[in-house]
Amino acid sequence: MTVKPVVPNPKPAAAKARRRRPLPTARPILEIVKQHAEDAAFLWVQRDRAVRAPHYNLTLLDRLDGRVEAHVDGLRVAGDAGWEIAKAGIGEPGGYFVVAILALDGRDAARQEVVIESAAAHARSLAAALAWLPWKRAEAVAKPWLESPSPALRRAAVAAFALHRRDPGAPLLKAAGDPDAAVCARAIKALGELGLVKHLALAQRALGHADPGVAFAAAWSTALLSKDAGPLIGMVTQDLRRAGRGIPLAARQGGADWARAFPPRLAIMAAGHAGDPAAIPWLLDQMKTPALARVAGEAFSMITGADLGSEPLEGKAPEGFEAGPTDDPADPNVDMDADGDLSWPDPPEVEKWWKGRSGAFKPGVRYLAGGPMEIPALRGLLRSGYQRIRAAAALELALLEPGKPLFEVRAPGFRQKAGLGA
């Protein structure tokens, strides 16, 4: 009789080995949750800049939004641990945004109270969180706040309706006369954003308001809801600190000649937004000055549609040029380079490009990204343009279609795509 050798069964040994492996501890999991909180806050700050950046389009913005939402969702899944870890960052704008999303998206009164306590210090982040939420949830939070005794909450509520492009009706008109200047200014700006031409007179009456912020909002909405850019031009001329917010609309309504006496950088911006190719020779000349080259290039591109980030139109920074903060601790310049995301033009190549195409542009006719100010072309730019071009196209469409809301190019990407049918 042949005796077969006994072969040990490997399964029990493998099972023992598995039992000997240490079980996952809470520490690595908490580290992952902490990373979710840090990344969500950081990416929101990046996103807050991206919506105004010259090198972001809707596709890139939507992709960034997806990353923000993924990290926020990781905190949601983590439950109480996610909340406690996120709450540690509430003092910073990005951290507050994350905490506000977690609190307002749920129905935990204690968590919402944490957000409310810091609302006055984080007005923009709170408005952004309400804009991020689906409308039904945002409305459930914001509607009661319209009558809140807290000015910070009333302002956030008005902003929520405006950013979702929803008209709250009578409460908006009440807010336009709010004793708190910040609430009043936000409500009057909302009149323009919502395209409420029927309430133009309300914006016009606020032009003489004692608070400069309210008066500026009134001038901005008046220009958007009517053909009268005079008050806005006057406001920008009197206070150049508001030029960055006022020029894009003022130049579209009133041309750029009124800005020629401004500092060169602001005059260049006005020329780009005005869209008249008659300014091109002057812009080409400004490109030869290093401190103005990139903003002049952007204005040129805004009019003509030339892609200055492509060969051969893109140049290099001049030798030794420094626009932003340096590594020298003694350097008093700590401001970031305002044109850091713009391409350096190559002036001779750009001039050559213009000579070959100038015949397609008529002085006195306005252009945006090389196209006419016509509704189909402008809607196309909302789908395909970079953020600053998209914002310009949205303004032009609002001017061409009185009574329609201003398209919100800062909204979550998926919501913008749905609105554009993209």
DSSP letters of 159-226? HHHHHTT----HHHHHHTT-SSHHHHHHHHHHHHHTT-GGGHHHHHHGGG-SSHHHHHHHHHHHHHHS
Is residue 381 one of the residues assigned to a domain?
Answer: no
**Distant-in-sequence, close-in-space partners of 194: CB < 8 Å, separation ≥ 6:** 162, 165, 167, 172, 405, 406
Q: Are 174 and 107 in a shared domain?
A: no
Residue 324 has a pLDDT of 58
Assess whether pLDDT exceeds 80 at residue 167: yes
**Distant-in-sequence, close-in-space partners of 175: CB < 8 Å, separation ≥ 6:** 146, 154, 158, 183, 184, 186, 187
Q: Are 104 and 183 in a shared domain?
A: no
Q: How confident is the model at residue 1 (pLDDT cuts 50, 70, 90)?
A: very low
Q: Are 115 and 200 in a shared domain?
A: no
Q: Find the mean pLDDT for residues 191-210.
A: 98
pLDDT tens string 374-389: 999 999 999 999 999 9
Last residue of some domain: 228, 254, 273? Answer: 228
Q: Look at residue 371 and give its three-state secondary structure.
A: strand
Assess whether pLDDT exceeds 80 at residue 27: no
Residue 303 has a pLDDT of 98
Is residue 213 one of the residues assigned to a domain?
Answer: yes
Q: Are 109 and 48 in a shared domain?
A: yes
Is residue 315 one of the residues assigned to a domain?
Answer: no
The tally of domains found in the chain comes to 2
Is residue 396 one of the residues assigned to a domain?
Answer: no
Is residue 11 one of the residues assigned to a domain?
Answer: no
Q: Are 51 and 85 in a shared domain?
A: yes
For the chain, the residue count is 422
The CATH number of residue 181's host domain is 1.25.10.10
pLDDT tens string 218-253: 999 999 999 899 999 999 999 999 999 999 999 999
Last residue of some domain: 228, 250, 272? Answer: 228
Determine how many CB atoms are found less than 10 A away from the CB of residue 142. 27
Q: Find the mean pLDDT for residues 306-314.
A: 92
Q: Are 125 and 193 in a shared domain?
A: no
Candidate from 19-23, 112-116, 152-156, 298-302 with smallest mean pLDDT? 19-23
Q: Are 34 and 125 in a shared domain?
A: yes
Q: How confident is the model at residue 215 (pLDDT cuts 50, 70, 90)?
A: very high
Query: Residue 59's domain spans which residues?
Result: 28-133
Residue 323 has a pLDDT of 76
Q: Are 176 and 213 in a shared domain?
A: yes
Is residue 413 one of the residues assigned to a domain?
Answer: no
Q: Are 46 and 124 in a shared domain?
A: yes
Per the CB < 8 A criterion, the answer to whether 50 and 410 are in contact is no
Residue 333 has a pLDDT of 44
Last residue of some domain: 133, 153, 184? Answer: 133
Residue 29 has a pLDDT of 85
Q: Are 96 and 181 in a shared domain?
A: no
Amino acid present at 290? P
Residue 315 has a pLDDT of 94
Is residue 375 one of the residues assigned to a domain?
Answer: no
Q: Report the C-alpha gap between 23 and 13 in whole angstroms.
A: 18
Q: Find the mean pLDDT for residues 180-201.
A: 98
Assess whether pLDDT exceeds 90 at residue 336: no
pLDDT tens string 116-158: 999 999 999 999 999 999 999 999 999 999 999 999 999 999 9
Q: Are 122 and 62 in a shared domain?
A: yes
Q: Are 44 and 127 in a shared domain?
A: yes
Assess whether pLDDT exceeds 90 at residue 12: no
Q: Find the mean pLDDT for residues 11-18.
A: 42
Is residue 102 one of the residues assigned to a domain?
Answer: yes
Q: Find the mean pLDDT for residues 337-346.
A: 94
